[in-house]
Amino acid sequence: MRIAVIGAGGVGGMLAARLGAAGHEISLLARGSHLAAIREAGLRLVTPAETVELRPAVVSDRGEDLPEADLVIVAVKAQDLDGAADQMARAMAGGAPALPFLNGVEATDRLAARFGADRVLIGIARISAHIEAPGVVRQVTPGATYTIGTAAGRQDDEQVREIRATFHAAGITVPESADVRVDLWTKFAALSAFSGVTAGARCTAGALKTTPALEALYLRLAGEVTELGRAEGIALRDDLPRRMLDFARGLPDEMRASLAHDLDAGKALEIDWLAGAVPRLGARHGLAAPASETVAALLEPWKHGARGGGK
């Protein structure tokens, strides 16, 4: 299979390396020093168990350099998706589907508006990985899963079955799901709450567990996502906020959301697509989301990075 990967960070880099090692032809869109290192020495994925090396068939920062693909994987920050869509056009010219693995719940709809609803799937990545050095992606934990389905949440579609089989044959875990949309919104509830708390309070999971006020905030943030998801027609359970808090309590004490790490590093933030999305999307249903709105307001000065805020 000819696979184009748009974004070579933790998610995209891991998938590119695994799928390339399985014999698929990989074209890769990267940028900056990461791109230069991959051109010179290839992409290296370092996991707790092994190291996987990839020499992409094509690696560039120009979408027009990518050949037509059979599958286009999109793994960029949510705020970079519009630019990525411009770069994907040539890879998708032959009819390939787009499979986005982005935070938030809007990537599929945003790409569908550009390429058509029948060309875009839902992808949900659960992995801890990052660019450790130019040309090197480190997978921190041994477990990683990639849930894949249609925009309607189904996995019995022939195209989805083929992609899941391709991932599985490459050693990538692809969980079964009765409704992928429920999984997408469940992750959104957990991530919006955890990122909102650890970035907004500049704290760790350990502080969340030992600070009742932060646990209460986490529940409010997850509860606002749950209410929104139901208004959007997603069958979310009543106990979702509590289950997500229990999950957060099981995380290592030192863990923080990537949004919190990006804040510390002075990088642009995905806040408009996490906590900031909840009041924005809720407005069309007449829903208020005061906790999410407050978190988004606190982080607003920093969303373009340190140069756009108060440091």
Domain boundary among 156, 178, 200: 178
If asked whether residues 118 and 258 sit together in one domain, one would say no
Strand positions, DSSP E, the chain? 2-6, 25-29, 43-46, 51-54, 58-60, 71-74, 98-100, 121-126, 129-133, 136-139, 145-150
Rounded to 5°, angle at Cα 133 from 128 and 136: 65
If asked whether residues 160 and 188 sit together in one domain, one would say no
Q: Is the pLDDT of residue 307 over 90?
A: no
Give the pLDDT of residue 293.
Answer: 98
For the chain, how many structural domains are there in total? 2
- With H, G, I as helix, E, B as strand and everything else as coil, classify residue 138: strand
If asked whether residues 46 and 172 sit together in one domain, one would say yes
Domain boundary among 178, 197, 212: 178
If asked whether residues 189 and 257 sit together in one domain, one would say yes
Give the model's confidence band at 283: pLDDT under 50 very low, under 70 low, under 90 confident, else very high.
very high
Q: Residue 222: give the domain boundaries.
A: 181-308
pLDDT tens track for 193-240: 999 999 999 999 999 999 999 999 999 999 999 999 999 999 999 999
If asked whether residues 137 and 96 sit together in one domain, one would say yes
Q: Is the pLDDT of residue 267 over 60?
A: yes
If asked whether residues 285 and 254 sit together in one domain, one would say yes
Please report, for the domain that includes residue 232, its CATH number.
1.10.1040.10
Give the pLDDT of residue 123.
Answer: 98
Q: Is the pLDDT of residue 251 over 80?
A: yes
Please report, for the domain that includes residue 84, its CATH number.
3.40.50.720
CB atoms within 10 A of CB 149: 26
Q: Is the pLDDT of residue 308 over 80?
A: no
pLDDT tens track for 158-199: 999 999 999 999 999 999 999 999 999 999 999 999 999 999
If asked whether residues 241 and 111 sit together in one domain, one would say no
Q: Is the pLDDT of residue 311 over 70?
A: no
Domain boundary among 114, 143, 178: 178
d(CA 305, CA 157): 40
pLDDT tens track for 110-142: 999 999 999 999 999 999 899 999 999 999 888
Cβ within 8 Å of residue 296, ≥6 positions away: 271, 272, 275, 276, 279
If asked whether residues 166 and 211 sit together in one domain, one would say no
If asked whether residues 158 and 259 sit together in one domain, one would say no
If asked whether residues 144 and 10 sit together in one domain, one would say yes
If asked whether residues 288 and 228 sit together in one domain, one would say yes
If asked whether residues 25 and 151 sit together in one domain, one would say yes
